[in-house]
Structure 1
Amino acid sequence: MATVFVEARPKGRPEGSPITDYVVEDHADHVLGTFKTQKEAIDWTRKNGHSPHVARVRHLNDKKTPDHWRAV
């Protein structure tokens, strides 16, 4: 299973501003899919044989730092 990352967009948004959508990205920041909800994104990743991870804290999302992510 490939590890993929579910992230809220827009990236770097100010605290309290709305989330427009969620993207599924690989380690190289390539967008694999865009979804309205985090649940839809996670369900899609599992259906396609990936291991989804989400950021522990939204503004800490460096893919090279495992502590920033948790498996769902």
Structure 2
Amino acid sequence: MDKVKSICQELGITQNELAELMGLHYTAFSKWKEKIPKNAEICLDLLVENYRLKKHLKGIKEAIITLQN
């Protein structure tokens, strides 16, 4: 569950919003206890990777705009 909490903090969303992004009911996290199912863990990792890549791309775009001005 620490992984779910840290992901929510990084993405700036609630656990309910994270569950919705994953296509799950918000109670799914409480059913996992300490062990996250492998397919859910992969989904979580991909969500975080996507978020980080978008954030990095945004930084690159802003740098290009700054250089052009």
Q: TM-score scaled to structure 1, two decimals?
A: 0.26
Bigger share in strand? 1
Larger radius of gyration: 2
Bigger share in helix? 2
Q: TM-score scaled to structure 2, two decimals?
A: 0.27
